[in-house]
Chain A
Amino acid sequence: MRTEIISAKKNLPLFFSPALILIVLFVLFPVLQTIYISFFSSSGEFVGLDNYHDVLTSKEILNLGDVSQGLSQPYGLGALVHNMLWILIHLPLSMFSGLALAIILRDVKGASVVKSAIFLGMVTPMIVGGLILQFTFEEGVGIVNGFFNILGLEQLTRTWTAHPETALFAVIFGSVWLWTGFSLIVYSAGLATIPREYYEAAKIDGATPFRTFFRITFPLLKPMTLVVITMTLLWELKIFDIVWAAVGEGGGPGQASNVLALQMYVWAFRSFDFNRAAAVATILTALTLVVSVWMIRYMVKK
């Protein structure tokens, strides 16, 4: 289908200038300014990569000094490692539970109600989501500990978000609960595009459900998998409100559940160390750009 109208050169400014002005003033210029100040000291001297060196050797960001102590040492393993743990645990769990649920719900009466219930976490303000997590993991009132009691695991009952060893994991697992709705919705939309005949043919050929999944369903859902991975990675790198609300703005007990975005805020708006904060923001942005460039390259190749 032809989509372009070539004539209208003189009207370009009319269509583009409002958007460009807003983006240049409030997005592009601030981005460049952040990169710029990340190379200067707070007194305005050019210091090259010193801020980056400072940041990457600070205990807040990377704390691998005594790995055997893990998260129980002050600052845990550092915000950068915490973000990576977030990716390692949260990405596969939320992605595959969304996929599994999408497949199960295909043949369920009232599936849309179930989907809406699971999707509720995606429309909840993340600051409220974080508070609900804290409540759910609270000793006494929270249902997580209620389950441990029923299972006879009394030694596990505690306020999970209040202990450095468990706070990070509590928040990560809790956010799987909040985010699974996303992969469920994307995979459900993808499944709807696969013709039923494929499955009927597979059944006639006597393929096992296992084989059908790996030969038909999963390969045909590849574009959705790509979208889910990209958006989930970006979400995990940018994570902020949930941690703030669930364990506190300092990054929780002993800062053991601190993340990059939160540490940036603390340095910028609590210590007013704008230059160091700018270096953290730039590192975080570099990570998100790696993810999106990977995605764009894949789409262009296709």
Chain B
Amino acid sequence: MDDQVYGEKMKIRKSTIIVHIIAWSVALIWVLPFLGVFMAATRPWGEISHGWWNFAEFNPTFENFVAAWTDERASIAVGMLNSFLVAIPSTVMPMLVASLAGYGFARFSFPIRNYLFLTIVLIMAIPQQMIAVPIFQIMSSLGLVSNYIGLILVHSAWGLAWIILFMRNYFLTLPVEIEEAARVDGASDFKIFYKIVLPMALPALASVAVLQFMWVWNDFFLAQILIYDPEMLLATQRVSRMRGQYIVSWDLLSAASILVMIVPVLIFALLQKYYIKGMVGWTVKG
């Protein structure tokens, strides 16, 4: 009897070990491509050109980062500053505008509400290519090509659909009684919204901020059709420009890649809770 229990325990332990080995090897395999680019960025090209896993010579250096940061053709420092200048307003504006509309969808009933809501949901599926040509023409006629205001407006409008949906779903989870009590006390709809509802929605707003900022930072297509002035190119455009047509200088390019991806990776590492809530809440509740 004792032997049998002991045997059972051994079996469990063995399978647990196997599962752990599988899981951690998968994780290792998954980070290998990132590790490779990191090696290319931090070591002289001569050392790694026959495989970055060769450590016969090992002289880590920051030179590539400095070179990418200050590159004459496409300085990543300027690119990252530009990306911040675009991404911050492109996050704040749709957050406020969509919260209002999301609250409207959650709390008010009116005749065309469901059709309006369906339109918003369908917009989420549309590819950016579908607005590209008219957006370029509109912005040309307004003189807003190579102007961040144009790009910020488009990013804000483009983000609205999913933020409205996300905020509506969140508002629906809030009990309506608190708002009704405030109404009895004579508060206006708008006052209720920004004094009572918005403060309660801070966790949802944090998720929205994290996801929207990341998407704008990572965007390449909209920037590529609206920003042409070499001084104004965003971080992702500069990385793409550094690639060169035929010869790829990986030392410079990998350093630039790491600099540009460090921002979303840090945000994910520090605000993971909000990121996952935003991602899963938005998709699963859809």
**Do B20 and A292 touch across chains, with their CB atoms under 8 A apart?**
no
**Do B129 and A27 touch across chains, with their CB atoms under 8 A apart?**
no
For the complex, give the distance between the alpha carbons of A6 and B268 in Å. 39
Chain A residues within 8 Å of B, Cβ to Cβ: 1-9, 11-12, 14-16, 18-20, 22-23, 25-31, 33-34, 37, 101, 104-105, 107-111, 113-114, 116-121, 123-128, 131-136, 138, 140-143, 146, 177, 182, 185-186, 189-190, 223-224, 227, 231, 234, 237-238, 240-241, 244-245, 248, 260-261, 264-265, 268-269, 274, 277-278, 280-282, 284-285, 288-289, 291-293, 295-296, 299
For the complex, give the distance between the alpha carbons of A134 and B242 in Å. 14
- Can you add 10 more A-B contacts, CB < 8 Å, to A5-B180, A6-B108? A1-B176, A9-B110, A18-B100, A27-B158, A34-B132, A104-B23, A136-B36, A277-B133, A289-B126, A292-B125
Q: In the assembled complex, which residues on chain B have CB atoms less than 8 Å from the CB atom of A30?
A: 130-131, 133-135, 138
**Do B107 and A128 touch across chains, with their CB atoms under 8 A apart?**
no
Q: Name which residue of chain B comes closest to A178, CB basis.
A: B33
Q: In the assembled complex, which residues on chain A have CB atoms less than 8 Å from the CB atom of B10?
A: none
Q: Which of B1-9, B44-52, B62-70, B199-207 lies at the interface?
A: B44-52
For the complex, give the distance between the alpha carbons of A289 and B130 in Å. 12
Select B100's contact among A7, A19, A27, A296, beta carbons within 8 Å. Answer: A19
**Do B257 and A128 touch across chains, with their CB atoms under 8 A apart?**
yes
Check if B276 is an interface residue, CB within 8 A of chain A: yes
**Do B121 and A296 touch across chains, with their CB atoms under 8 A apart?**
yes
**Do A2 and B264 touch across chains, with their CB atoms under 8 A apart?**
no
What 0/1 readout, one digit per residue, does chain B (195-239) give for beta carbons within 8 Å of chain A?
000000000000000000010011011001100000000011001
For the complex, give the distance between the alpha carbons of A124 and B129 in Å. 21
For the complex, give the distance between the alpha carbons of A121 and B29 in Å. 13
Q: Do A131 and B257 form a contact, CB below 8 Å, given A136-B33, A245-B243?
A: yes
Check if B81 is an interface residue, CB within 8 A of chain A: no
Chain B residues within 8 Å of A, Cβ to Cβ: 16, 19-20, 22-24, 26-27, 30-34, 36-37, 40, 48-53, 94, 97-98, 100-101, 103-104, 106-110, 118-138, 153-154, 156-158, 160-161, 164, 172, 175-176, 179-180, 183, 188-190, 193, 214, 217-218, 220-221, 224-225, 235-236, 239-240, 243, 245, 248, 250, 253-254, 257, 260-261, 264-265, 267-269, 272, 275-276, 279-280, 283-284, 286
For the complex, give the distance between the alpha carbons of A9 and B189 in Å. 10
Select B130's contact among A31, A113, A143, A299, beta carbons within 8 Å. Answer: A31
Q: In the assembled complex, which residues on chain A have CB atoms less than 8 Å from the CB atom of B130?
A: 30-31, 34, 281-282, 284-285
Q: In the assembled complex, which residues on chain B have CB atoms less than 8 Å from the CB atom of A244?
A: 220, 240
**Do B129 and A261 touch across chains, with their CB atoms under 8 A apart?**
yes
**Do B123 and A23 touch across chains, with their CB atoms under 8 A apart?**
yes
**Do A238 and B183 touch across chains, with their CB atoms under 8 A apart?**
no
Q: In the assembled complex, which residues on chain A have CB atoms less than 8 Å from the CB atom of B32?
A: 136, 143
Among B48, B98, B157, max chain A CB count under 10 A is at B157
Q: In the assembled complex, which residues on chain B have CB atoms less than 8 Å from the CB atom of A117?
A: 27, 30-31
Q: In the assembled complex, which residues on chain A have CB atoms less than 8 Å from the CB atom of B220?
A: 125-127, 240-241, 244
Q: Is the interface of A mostly helix, strand, loop or mixed?
A: helix
**Do B157 and A23 touch across chains, with their CB atoms under 8 A apart?**
yes
**Do B264 and A123 touch across chains, with their CB atoms under 8 A apart?**
yes
For the complex, give the distance between the alpha carbons of A40 and B194 in Å. 48
Q: Do A27 and B127 form a contact, CB below 8 Å, given A22-B160, A104-B19, A141-B250?
A: no
**Do B129 and A284 touch across chains, with their CB atoms under 8 A apart?**
yes
Q: In the assembled complex, which residues on chain A have CB atoms less than 8 Å from the CB atom of B175?
A: 1
**Do A15 and B253 touch across chains, with their CB atoms under 8 A apart?**
no
Select A23's contact among B121, B160, B269, B286, beta carbons within 8 Å. Answer: B160
Q: Do A135 and B40 form a contact, CB below 8 Å, given A12-B110, A289-B125?
A: yes
